[in-house]
Structure 1
Amino acid sequence: MGTIHVESKAMCHVVAMPYPGRGHVNPMMNLCSMLATRKPDIIVSFVVTEEWHGFIKNEAKPDNVRFATIPNVIPSELDRAKDFPAFMNAVSTKMEGPFEDLLDRLDPPVTAIIADTKLVWSIGVANRKNIPVASLWPMSATVYSLLYHFDMLKENGHFPIQISEIGDEVVDYIPGMSPTQIRDLPTVLHGEDLRLLERALNTVNLVSKAQCLMFTTAYELEPQAVDALRSKYKIPVYPVGPSVPFFKLKPKNTTLAQSNGDSFASNANLISNGYAHNHEEEQAPEYFKWLDCQPHGSVLYISQGSFLSVSSAQMDEIVAGIRDSGVSYLWVARGETTKLNGCLGEKGIVVPWVEQLKVLCHPAIGGFWSHCGWNSSLEAAFSGVPVLTYPIFWDQVPNSKRFVEDWRAGWRVRKKIGKENFVSREEICDLVRRFMDGENNEIKEMRKRALELREACQKAISPGGSTETNLDSFIDYVSQIQAQEKNNFKKENNFDSATMVYHIVAVPYPGRGHVNPMMNLCKFLLISSKNHHHNHEILITFVVTQEWQTLINKNTNHAHADSIRICSIPNVLPSEEVRGNDFPGFYEAVMRKMEAPFEAVIDEIDSNVNVDLIIADTELLWAHAVATRRLLPLALLWTASASVFSMFLHHQLFLENHSFENGEKRVDYIPGVSPLRISDLPSIFHDKNGKVLQLYLQCISKVQYAKYLLFNSIYEIEPNAIDTLKSKYSFPLYTIGPLIPFYEATNNEHINYMQWLDSQPKGSVLYISLGSYLSISKEQMEELVVGLCDSGVRFLMVYRGPNKTLLSQNSNSGLFVPWCDQLRVLSHKSIGGFLSHCGWNSVLEAMFCGVPVLTFPISIDQVPNSKQIVEDLKVGVKMKERLGTNNKENDVVMRKEIARIVKGFMDFESRGGRELRETANKVREVCRNTIVEGGSSLQNLNAFLEDILQSN
């Protein structure tokens, strides 16, 4: 990528570098959008690979958020699931050099970097370039705390983990994590391959080398985890979530420019004002028109994330269960929309893509079947939607536990994670029916609790809220670091001496779930800076691979382009399209190969406008090293839940407690994490290989070296985990979530799913999306489609798979789309539920929209996210009770069980359905309250900005 020129004056230039995955890219983008909107005079360069740039280049974003690309040095996103360890390896080893080269080319020079925590090399690049770096953790703060305190698992005999032996044992000693069964810990803790755990631990270990740590959660969602981490780090910890695209909920005729200076909450409030009805001046997608025709709270939204999936047999059971339940559903199923449409009946629609947050926020949505990825978990909380949790992998398990046990805003689809986790269509049918029974008192209470989550999120992003405060504090911090270095620059360019330019480089982990929260953080920082720090010009350089820059440019508009510049490093990683082929390899590549190119980019950026701060994803293991070599403060952003963070932080406790030996054992010793089963831990906890887990643990171990820690979570949602994490770190820890683009308008005239949603009764549609990365097996997809069809529930499903026959057999039951504006879909009144993989971004969007979640976690933190949704928040129901990581036949949830669960989940007339939606609405209110004036996330955002600007 050529040099980016700034015409008139030096600015605060933040480079955002997400991990190359949808669950990372989206939160990073949401974060950058929040920063850019908060302080429109910041430039954010959003760095992705060329492939990812192609994926997201047309997505809505502030004008001052710009894409920058690095070459496609990693396996394609389309193939990474085939060898995920190889993909991870490429991310670790091949992205650093191109990213560093890119930093050298960016103009104006980089002020700070926001990098995905998984990009461990980002800290090293930042340090070499003397650029402050913030690490963005795209999972929950609780999962981060778990990784940070990993040694406690060993000390308590809970690691190594044998789920069959100790799954029921409870971990109750991880700071910031509520007592949790071993089975509810991230799957990376108890898999055969522990490489993911190793990477995670390495990632966390390096965070302390960053200048700050950012979380895509909101402080209100995970206060204990955030507080616990803040007590452990000397660097600031900023929860700046929920990192969901709530800024996209604005009517089309309201521009971002017109809203400059407005609080995030003013946009989020559009949810309650019926955003889905604002179609006069836009061609609404069909699924939104369908949602508009559905009864209030009647629709189960189903989404299993964008990466891992379930087996074909289990999918058949899910499909049959949803179909037999008779619940209206909106199912997101990428690639198999035609097949699903052919066997799901006429109660819903299947679509390949939706605007998930907008769907979850739609009044028709009554529940969310989700994989419990942290992003989806945040969106569910933000929307106030109960969750049917179906965690598959990684932090999805503890996220599921959080929804079910901690928030008590969800139910589990699968009671256990493991080879015996097959859920039949009959079970699914019954569960979905009960979950969506809005007249059921239990469901009413659940929906009330989900609404409380929504209120917490709303409070966080409201003026004075924790997210806005944290973003402001972050902007202050990076601006202050920059102030002295900018004096000469101002003299050379005849600047007013009162103007200070602060340059942030944001570098997310190269994944949608990291990139998006990081981008939103950058946008929020810009908004906060403009509103509260008028004497500072913030520039953000968002650093991604060239592939990711292409993806971002493809799916992002030019909002905040003047303040957020996308800068790319070469594609040193496996392509985003193929990273699932060897995720451990991809993850390792992120850790090993991105550092050098990133640092080179820092050098180039710094030669024009000095870099003041790096904001990096916590999973960028090298971020601390770069920041240290460059003498730059580093802020780390954790894009998953704070609870998942706590699980990784305290991973040692699992080892010490020998917890992995029994999947049913309840773990109650993870600080800040509620008791959860071993099977509810992030899936990589169970990875036998262990490479990814070890890298994760390394990333967590590095958090202590950062200066700030930011969470894409809400304090009110995870207070125990956040408080615990604050107690662990001596530096600031901020919950600034939800890092979702709730402030952005989206142009989707070519998509008809919104029109379809407009035609559906209120709350009748189940939105289905299983994430953008790992997916379920062919057998499970077939079971899911048939189960949905048999359930009779209306559905909108995002599906990108190849099986068109399956979809064609279900074309009369719902709508299948390859993509949708998820936040917008979740906000639609016809959405009654969200079948989700429980990626943290999806969780945040579900919470933000108040949509219950039918959880279908696949990997990593999605499992604990599912648990969090179902057991903690009680805004969801688990589709898969047990998580199987090898896609064996007995891992499959059968169609009858799926139909049963979906029917029950989408039955908002039942007591359970009503309570679930009431709880989801409460969660939604919690989320909203966090982003209004005085909200925890807004306050944290401001505190983060204040800190970084003053320290300059």
Structure 2
Amino acid sequence: MAENHQKPHAIMIPYPLQGHVIPFVHLAMKLASKGFTITFVNTQSVHHQISKAQQENSSSQDDIFAGARKSGLDIRYATVSDGLPLGFDRSLNHDQFLESILHVFSAHVDELVGNFVHSDPPITCLIADTFYVWSSMIANKYGLVNVSFWTEPALVLTLYYHLDMLKSNGHFGSQDNRKDIIDYIPGVRAIAPTDMMSYLQALDISTVAHQIMHKAFEDVKRADFIVCNTVQELESETISALHQKQPFYAIGPIFPTGFTKSSVATNLWSESDCTHWLDTKPHGSVLYVSLGSYAHASKHDIWEIAHGLLLSKVNFIWVLRPDIVSSNETDILPVGFNDDIKDKGLIVPWCCQIQVISHPSIGGFLTHCGWNSILESIWCSVPLLCFPLLTDQFTNRKLVVDDWGIGVNLYDEKPIMREEVSGNINRVMIETLADELRNQIKEVRKTLENALASNGSSEKNFNQFIKDLSAKVQEKHGQATWRRVDSSYNHA
């Protein structure tokens, strides 16, 4: 009977991108603090990048969870090949990278899970990123409960979930997509096609990204549970409609304990410490600029943002990733820009975002609208200036600007012009609108805070998820025992 009450053991596999690894790490810590054993799996490439960044910060560690284990959490760590050599430039050869994730990666994961399935305690569930196409196949093969972890808002999930409906109505997948408002998706009142994810706005849907999308969002329909890094009160109608399809749990925002720098390394680049510079600036006077860890921007857009920053005359920190334009394009700023900014601006290749945006001198955030960035910004009550580049960022922008009123658009129509950039920076940082935005974001912050309280929606949903997961594990365990008994009876 003791076997029936074994410790739950989840194997967790994030998508190999920075924005997915971060919430996966924080979910692993949260589950481990509730008594789970976790085996956390990064790709060798992601692990290599994190280790390299750590070495540059002079605290190299081969196991990113070593510190977490010292604090008593049972988190083991493993790496798996994504099918490509470590030195392969995944940023420059995006399609080849995705081809490998689609066609090769699952064989490596299958082998890895097979090796771990009989560990002590035995693995009972698979928590995989929703973008993976193989979750149900591997969960079924090893008798694991299949949990899909969606790291973006519920609105984005539901649009992908109803691809067939969008296609049959002519809003997706034809050479001449309809341009009118979409008002037939369950749980979505109305959305413009231009507010859908970039992949749903594309005319060419034969790409490898679209193949992954189709397979992954058919596969998620076979998951036992979907957990989502969002807040029920922020997306109640969408979540309620999804809940009618499958068990769905809004458990966000998933932050490190106390919203301080995580004890687990997740950054793929070496972090610059900006604290000393920020300490010299007045309260609320600095604009933080970061376009995320993955998407690329054009040189024209970077130049217009640079000139817009100079024209606005505000203080700024700009996280300018070395490969923001392309990993083989290094000269990306206007000539003389570094001399022009003097002490008004600080340019760094990467930083600890939580540390920077929680600093009192930060007054606004020019962002690509990645979901982690939005949640962190709300938590710090920092209004947003929105410049979406790719995938879910266009849909996230709609939530920020149109639905919640906590940010403005960087520009209204392409091409981006420096005067418009400068004007909108001042609207967010200095003008009357700045106070309105700050007041509104403080209200939304309260929603997040309430959700995470002991009787809040996210905490209740999280506890319910653990309860339902345990029941499902028992059910699967019973079936497995029955199969073994049945099999030995047949051989008798």
Q: TM-score, normalised by structure 1?
A: 0.44
Q: In 1, distance between residues paired with 2:88 and 2:418?
A: 29
Pairing partner for 2:213 from 674, 696, 699: 696
Shift of 1:745: 4.3
Shift of 1:593: 1.6
* 1:721 paired residue number: 238
Q: In 2, distance between residues paired with 1:852 and 1:901?
A: 12
Pairing partner for 1:933 from 454, 458, 466: 454
Q: In 1, distance between residues paired with 2:41 and 2:386?
A: 32
Pair 1:575–1:854, CA change in 2 (3 A): farther
* 2:181 paired residue number: 666
* 2:427 paired residue number: 904
Aligned residue type for 2:313:
G
Are the counterparts in 2 of residues 768 and 797 from structure 1 also a CA contact under 8 Å? Answer: yes
Q: In 1, distance between residues paired with 2:85 and 2:188?
A: 34
SS of structure 1 residue aligned to 2:8: strand
SS of structure 1 residue aligned to 2:354: helix
Q: Does 1:862 align with 2:393?
A: yes
Q: Does 1:538 align with 2:53?
A: no
* 1:679 paired residue number: 194
* 1:588 paired residue number: 99
Q: Does 1:505 align with 2:11?
A: yes
Q: In 1, distance between residues paired with 2:424 and 2:168?
A: 37
Pair 1:903–1:594, CA change in 2 (3 A): same
Pair 1:669–1:583, CA change in 2 (3 A): farther
Aligned residue type for 2:314:
V
Pair 1:899–1:563, CA change in 2 (3 A): same
Pairing partner for 1:616 from 121, 124, 128: 128
Q: What is the CA deviation profile of residues 609-640 of structure 1, one whole-angstrom value per residue up to 9, with x for unaligned ones?
A: 22100000000111111111111111000111
Q: Does 1:738 align with 2:253?
A: yes
Q: In 2, distance between residues paired with 1:582 and 1:662?
A: 29
Are the counterparts in 2 of residues 738 and 848 from structure 1 also a CA contact under 8 Å? Answer: no
* 1:353 paired residue number: none
Per mean C-alpha deviation after superposition, the further-off stretch among 755-764 and 828-837 is: 755-764
CA RMSD of aligned residues (A): 2.4
Aligned residue type for 2:194:
S
Are the counterparts in 2 of residues 875 and 916 from structure 1 also a CA contact under 8 Å? Answer: yes
SS of structure 2 residue aligned to 1:939: helix
Q: In 2, distance between residues paired with 1:515 and 1:893?
A: 31
Q: In 2, distance between residues paired with 1:667 and 1:576?
A: 43
Are the counterparts in 1 of residues 82 and 108 from structure 2 also a CA contact under 8 Å? Answer: no
SS of structure 1 residue aligned to 2:229: strand
Are the counterparts in 2 of residues 673 and 720 from structure 1 also a CA contact under 8 Å? Answer: yes
* 2:113 paired residue number: 602
Pairing partner for 1:873 from 404, 407, 420: 404
> Which is richer in strand?
1
Are the counterparts in 1 of residues 82 and 101 from structure 2 also a CA contact under 8 Å? Answer: no
Larger Rg: 2
SS of structure 2 residue aligned to 1:926: helix
Pairing partner for 1:643 from 133, 150, 155: 155
Pair 1:744–1:576, CA change in 2 (3 A): farther
Shift of 1:511: 0.8
Pair 1:750–1:787, CA change in 2 (3 A): closer
Per mean C-alpha deviation after superposition, the further-off stretch among 587-596 and 912-921 is: 587-596
Q: In 1, distance between residues paired with 2:179 and 2:416?
A: 18
SS of structure 1 residue aligned to 2:285: strand
* 2:308 paired residue number: 787
* 1:711 paired residue number: 228
Aligned residue type for 1:671:
P
Aligned residue type for 2:142:
R
Q: What is the CA deviation profile of residues 110-168 of structure 1, one whole-angstrom value per residue up to 9, with x for unaligned ones?
A: xxxxxxxxxxxxxxxxxxxxxxxxxxxxxxxxxxxxxxxxxxxxxxxxxxxxxxxxxxx
Q: In 2, distance between residues paired with 1:512 and 1:663?
A: 34
Per mean C-alpha deviation after superposition, the further-off stretch among 570-579 and 511-520 is: 570-579
Q: What is the CA deviation profile of residues 333-375 of structure 1, one whole-angstrom value per residue up to 9, with x for unaligned ones?
A: xxxxxxxxxxxxxxxxxxxxxxxxxxxxxxxxxxxxxxxxxxx
Shift of 1:901: 1.2
Q: In 1, distance between residues paired with 2:113 and 2:317?
A: 43
Pairing partner for 1:844 from 364, 372, 375: 375
Are the counterparts in 2 of residues 570 and 597 from structure 1 also a CA contact under 8 Å? Answer: yes
SS of structure 1 residue aligned to 2:156: helix
Pair 1:931–1:576, CA change in 2 (3 A): farther
Q: In 1, distance between residues paired with 2:215 and 2:434?
A: 42
Q: In 2, distance between residues paired with 1:750 and 1:571?
A: 25
Aligned residue type for 1:829:
P
Per mean C-alpha deviation after superposition, the further-off stretch among 651-660 and 753-762 is: 651-660
Shift of 1:948: 1.9
Q: In 1, distance between residues paired with 2:411 and 2:90?
A: 25
Shift of 1:581: 2.7
Are the counterparts in 1 of residues 153 and 396 from structure 2 also a CA contact under 8 Å? Answer: yes
Shift of 1:825: 1.6
Q: In 2, distance between residues paired with 1:866 and 1:573?
A: 33
Q: In 1, distance between residues paired with 2:229 and 2:392?
A: 14
Identity %: 33
Shift of 1:880: 3.8
SS of structure 2 residue aligned to 1:928: helix
Are the counterparts in 1 of residues 272 and 349 from structure 2 also a CA contact under 8 Å? Answer: no
Are the counterparts in 2 of residues 573 and 590 from structure 1 also a CA contact under 8 Å? Answer: no
Pairing partner for 2:296 from 752, 775, 789: 775
Pair 1:578–1:872, CA change in 2 (3 A): farther
Pairing partner for 2:321 from 774, 793, 800: 800
Q: TM-score, normalised by structure 2?
A: 0.83
Q: Does 1:755 align with 2:276?
A: yes
* 1:448 paired residue number: none
Q: In 2, distance between residues paired with 1:664 and 1:880?
A: 21
SS of structure 1 residue aligned to 2:290: strand
Structure 2: tracts of 5 or more residues without a match: 55-63, 323-329, 475-492
Q: In 2, distance between residues paired with 1:870 and 1:575?
A: 40
* 1:924 paired residue number: 445
Are the counterparts in 2 of residues 740 and 841 from structure 1 also a CA contact under 8 Å? Answer: no
Pairing partner for 2:138 from 601, 622, 626: 626
Q: In 2, distance between residues paired with 1:710 and 1:508?
A: 13
Per mean C-alpha deviation after superposition, the further-off stretch among 786-795 and 577-586 is: 577-586
Are the counterparts in 1 of residues 363 and 382 from structure 2 also a CA contact under 8 Å? Answer: yes
Shift of 1:865: 0.5
Pair 1:576–1:873, CA change in 2 (3 A): farther
Pairing partner for 2:22 from 487, 491, 516: 516
Aligned residues: 438
Q: How does 1:347-386 map onto structure 2 within 5 Å? A: none
Pair 1:928–1:575, CA change in 2 (3 A): farther
Q: How does 1:805-820 map onto structure 2 within 5 Å? A: 806=334, 807-812=337-342, 813-820=344-351
Q: What is the CA deviation profile of residues 346-405 of structure 1, one whole-angstrom value per residue up to 9, with x for unaligned ones?
A: xxxxxxxxxxxxxxxxxxxxxxxxxxxxxxxxxxxxxxxxxxxxxxxxxxxxxxxxxxxx
* 1:417 paired residue number: none
Shift of 1:574: 6.9
Q: What is the CA deviation profile of residues 471-530 of structure 1, one whole-angstrom value per residue up to 9, with x for unaligned ones?
A: xxxxxxxxxxxx96x47xxxxxxxxxxx73221100111111111111111111122x1x
Q: How does 1:107-146 map onto structure 2 within 5 Å? A: none
* 1:259 paired residue number: none
Are the counterparts in 2 of residues 525 and 941 from structure 1 also a CA contact under 8 Å? Answer: no
Pair 1:648–1:594, CA change in 2 (3 A): same
Aligned residue type for 2:199:
I
Pairing partner for 2:68 from 560, 569, 572: 560
Are the counterparts in 1 of residues 188 and 237 from structure 2 also a CA contact under 8 Å? Answer: yes
Q: What is the CA deviation profile of residues 40-81 of structure 1, one whole-angstrom value per residue up to 9, with x for unaligned ones?
A: xxxxxxxxxxxxxxxxxxxxxxxxxxxxxxxxxxxxxxxxxx
Pairing partner for 1:829 from 349, 360, 363: 360
Q: What is the CA deviation profile of residues 178-228 of structure 1, one whole-angstrom value per residue up to 9, with x for unaligned ones?
A: xxxxxxxxxxxxxxxxxxxxxxxxxxxxxxxxxxxxxxxxxxxxxxxxxxx
